[in-house]
Structure 1
């Protein structure tokens, strides 16, 4: 069995091992398992059944991640995207007073359009057209972004109406546990202990129970809630509303460039990019993402996208699709073992995200600091991601500034046709749509 898996996923060829891939998969799952409960909590605000959405979340995540692992052979995991689910619930359904059935139809159409764009290799062309320096910047920007997510989740950084952000109350148990977990992970990593992030997550979870930060599991096994309240419940006729054009375009743009950013950023960190800075088999990875979005809409959940938390598994050494298959199996298991998955607190996963942010900042070493026309767009992309809380916005303004600076300094020939088209589209989206 081990030899077959090695050949199937090219484990030895990518200088990994069966044990490393399994640990990487478990680590990725634990850093993103929050989506199992957060996604239904958000979508249930629209009137969708909480239990049914939880089942849909697990199934859509498992299917998308399994396709990524088996078809693309990359250690990337997929799940309903944060931000996109909030846009679905609070902007489209609650704000625009559009039914959740029609909103699901928009997500389904988004998935179909992505499949067509991927089949025509348009999405792959976009991935490969982004200049190498911007790809490194995307990796570093995602590092800052994911570290901020971890700091907020840990309660170390909190909102402040006067200064936007400020230091949280470090005397509370959750921030203390997170800081201890961060130190533990750093020390274990320094000693080159395999699974350092995973061991840190487990240690903080166990410590969190007696401190009241996490509750003991209420049982072990539970029956998955029925999908019937939301399965295939999208309303395609509702898409005839003119207002839905903007909704579909927004889903399309955000999902496209969130996925683009994650693939580029995590791939740069994992060493997947070739000598020209392109991602081999990018079309297969994008196909997995596109199909997962369409399938997710059929099951009853918002847009499924590639998760930046995949970087945690990459940092544990995950280099093949076997890690993704492990994540997929754990999502399926979560359908039946949700009481156990539920107990892992944010205080345990947050330090892992901070550590991933630290690791991804290493991309800065490869940036060209001597050419201001390369450095400024890279810096804009890096700054924009955490400060706007959006990977997509970081990519957009990185591309816009790259094109404009090159044109205004007489280096227009360095801007490809694809980059010019992307710049025009981004400017139209930001100022006209």
Structure 2
């Protein structure tokens, strides 16, 4: 069995081990397990059943990540995405007044369109035609975005009426625990302790017990709630409406560039780009993402997408699909051991996310900051991701500025444009001006 795993996932060729891959998969799961709670909380506000959404979230993540690991053989996990679930609830349902069944129908259409776009290599072309500088900036921007999520989850950074964000109260238990965890995990990394991120999460969780942040569960095992209240609940009565068209287009645009940005960053982090800077595994990865979205809609959850927290597993050494397969197995266990798994507080995973942000930001050193036609788009990409809380908008600002600066930069600069950049820039222009 061990030999078959080594051969199938090309463990030796990727200079890793089964133990490293398994630890990396667990690390990814622990870093993203919050989605099992947060997604049901958000979708419940649209009128959906909390317990059913919990089960749908776990099963959708389980299946999509399994396909990514076994078929695409990549160390990338998928689950219902943050941001898109908020758009689902707060805009489509609560603001426009449509039912959650209508919103799920839009997700289904989006997933089917994604499958077609992936089969015809349109999404793959977007990734491979992205300029090298923007690829590096996307990786760095996602690093800052992930770090900002960690800092906010830890209450180290909090909302502020005058400055938008400010430093939180570091004596508050959650912020204090996260700060301790950051130091502990940093020591593990400096000392080159194997599985430093995972050990940091475990150690921080234990330290949280006397601080009252980590709460022991009353039980360990529980059966997953029924998925029946939301399974295959679609509403096609408003299929041929302008609202449906705009909602599907928005879901498409955001998810395309969220996924493209994440895959570019992960490919760079795991050294999966070829000598031409292309990502040869992009088509399979994108198809897994598209199938995940379609299955997620059928199960009853919002758009399934590539998760940024996959970078935590890569930072722990994950390089093959065995990492994703392990994460998938963890989601399966979560269906039955959710009380035990979910005792890990956000303050314990926050240090890992902050340090993963450091790892993701490494390519910034290779950006040519002496060429302003490259530096300005890169800088906007990097800064807009955490400030706008959106990978897609970071890419949008980067591509739009890249297109405009190259266009007016003279004949030599215009030669660096390609059809993909022009088309994508126009799509983002339409989105920002009219949607």
Residues 256-303 of structure 1: CA deviation (Å, up to 9, x unaligned): 100011101121122111121111110000000000000000000000
Superposition misfits of 4+ residues, deviation over 3 angstroms: none
Separation in structure 1 between the aligned mates of residue 381 and residue 387 of structure 2, nearest angstrom: 10
Residues 287-322 of structure 1: CA deviation (Å, up to 9, x unaligned): 000000000000000000000000000000000000
Does residue 287 of structure 1 match 2:287?
yes
SS class of match (2:165): strand
**What displacement does 1:427 show?**
0.7
Match of 1:428 in 2: 430
1:279-318 correspondence to structure 2 within 5 Å: 279-318=279-318
**What displacement does 1:241 show?**
3.0
Separation in structure 1 between the aligned mates of residue 4 and residue 153 of structure 2, nearest angstrom: 40
Residues 222-253 of structure 1: CA deviation (Å, up to 9, x unaligned): 01100100000011233233212111111001
Match of 1:322 in 2: 322
| TM-score, normalised relative to structure 1 | 0.99
**What displacement does 1:211 show?**
1.7
Separation in structure 2 between the aligned mates of residue 174 and residue 281 of structure 1, nearest angstrom: 40
SS class of match (1:219): coil
Match of 2:103 in 1: 103
Residues 95-131 of structure 1: CA deviation (Å, up to 9, x unaligned): 1110000100000000000000000000000100100
Match of 2:197 in 1: 197
Residues 376-409 of structure 1: CA deviation (Å, up to 9, x unaligned): 1111100110110100000011011111101111
Match of 2:82 in 1: 82
1:151-300 correspondence to structure 2 within 5 Å: 151-300=151-300
Match of 1:412 in 2: 414
Separation in structure 2 between the aligned mates of residue 432 and residue 87 of structure 1, nearest angstrom: 17
Does residue 35 of structure 1 match 2:27?
no
Separation in structure 2 between the aligned mates of residue 350 and residue 369 of structure 1, nearest angstrom: 31
Greater mean deviation of Cα atoms: 51-60 or 422-431: 422-431
Match of 2:342 in 1: 342
Does residue 370 of structure 1 match 2:370?
yes
**RMSD value over aligned CA atoms?**
0.8
Separation in structure 2 between the aligned mates of residue 63 and residue 123 of structure 1, nearest angstrom: 21
Match of 1:128 in 2: 128
Does residue 331 of structure 1 match 2:325?
no
Match of 2:93 in 1: 93
Does residue 11 of structure 1 match 2:25?
no
SS class of match (1:103): helix
SS class of match (2:135): helix
**What displacement does 1:375 show?**
1.1
Separation in structure 1 between the aligned mates of residue 238 and residue 312 of structure 2, nearest angstrom: 40
Separation in structure 2 between the aligned mates of residue 49 and residue 238 of structure 1, nearest angstrom: 23
Separation in structure 1 between the aligned mates of residue 311 and residue 72 of structure 2, nearest angstrom: 17
Separation in structure 2 between the aligned mates of residue 368 and residue 236 of structure 1, nearest angstrom: 50
**What displacement does 1:421 show?**
0.8
Residues 14-52 of structure 1: CA deviation (Å, up to 9, x unaligned): 011000000000000000000001100100111111000
**What displacement does 1:191 show?**
1.3
Number of equivalenced pairs: 433
**What displacement does 1:202 show?**
0.5
SS class of match (2:94): helix
Separation in structure 2 between the aligned mates of residue 161 and residue 229 of structure 1, nearest angstrom: 40
Separation in structure 2 between the aligned mates of residue 160 and residue 5 of structure 1, nearest angstrom: 50
SS class of match (1:327): helix
SS class of match (2:237): helix
Unmatched 5+ stretches in structure 1: none
Match of 1:58 in 2: 58
Separation in structure 2 between the aligned mates of residue 53 and residue 432 of structure 1, nearest angstrom: 33
